[in-house]
Amino acid sequence: MHSLAFDVAHMLAGLLVLVSFMMLYQDRLNSLITVLALHASVLGVSVAWQAWSQGEPHLYITAVLAIGFKAIVIPMALRRIIVQLGIHREIEAVGGIGLTMLAGIFLVALSLQVVLPVTTGADPVAREDIALALSVVLLGLLMMVTRRNAVSQVVGFMSLENGIVFAATGARGMPLVVEISVAFSILIAFIVVGIFLFRIRERFDTVDIQALDRFRGERR
């Protein structure tokens, strides 16, 4: 029995996996961040749909967080970092893009193959959500493995987190504690990353006399 709620949830889940694939073949940082924003937006819509169809209004908070924070605030901040650091706009991927895409397809097949047989008892929405969420998690990992640039690693990590939030909201009635905490942990994690990125700039990008002066100043 496939209701409309099921079909829409399914479509959004598929869309999330599709956007994860789109991330894999981006070769410029700016477009990668745009796709990250798209990823978070799809997540937000999907969470909102779950909130409506499960009748759990508190999930709207997660949806708003996903769209407001992860789709708007973070991409803006990442763009600023790119400009301020003046880092390469082109991303070098380990291995070719074709190979990465093939690995991605393999990972999606793997997660479907792993999850679907063991969750026959669970209700179908949750079951396929978990399978697709695992695909998103694995694609995020793949992204982190194949990119060397710090910013694109963060993007990979965020898409991985998106997959996990998606799984958490797909599991009916999961306590709110976790959802908020996930959002918070992303916030904290991002602050940490921000600090690190700025420190990295301070230490690596200014190998000039000014840096030496400052060093001596500290010692005085």
What region does 95 belong to: left with phi over 0, alpha with psi -120 to 50, or beta?
left
Binding segment (CB under 8 A) for another protein, from list 21-29, 79-87, 101-109, 132-140: 132-140
Question: For residues 45 and 66, what is the distance between their CA atoms, to the nearest angstrom?
Answer: 9
Position 115 contacts another protein (CB under 8 A)? yes
Per-residue binding letters, 138-177, with another protein (x by CB under 8 A): ---x--x-----x--x---x--xx--x--xx--xxxxx-x
Total number of residues that touch another protein (CB under 8 A): 45
Question: For residues 220 and 212, what is the distance between their CA atoms, to the nearest angstrom?
Answer: 13
- The correct pick among 55, 117, 208, 210 for binding another protein (CB under 8 A) is 117
Task: Indicate the residue among 49 and 166 with the shorter CB distance to another protein.
Answer: 166
* Interacting residues of 112 by C-beta distance below 8 A, sequence separation 6+: 131, 135
Position 178 contacts another protein (CB under 8 A)? yes
Least distance CB 52 / another protein (angstroms): 17
- Interface with another protein (CB under 8 A): 114-115, 117-119, 121-122, 126, 130, 133-134, 137, 141, 144, 150, 153, 157, 160-161, 164, 167-168, 171-175, 177-178, 181-182, 185, 188-189, 192-193, 195-196, 199-200, 202-204, 218-219
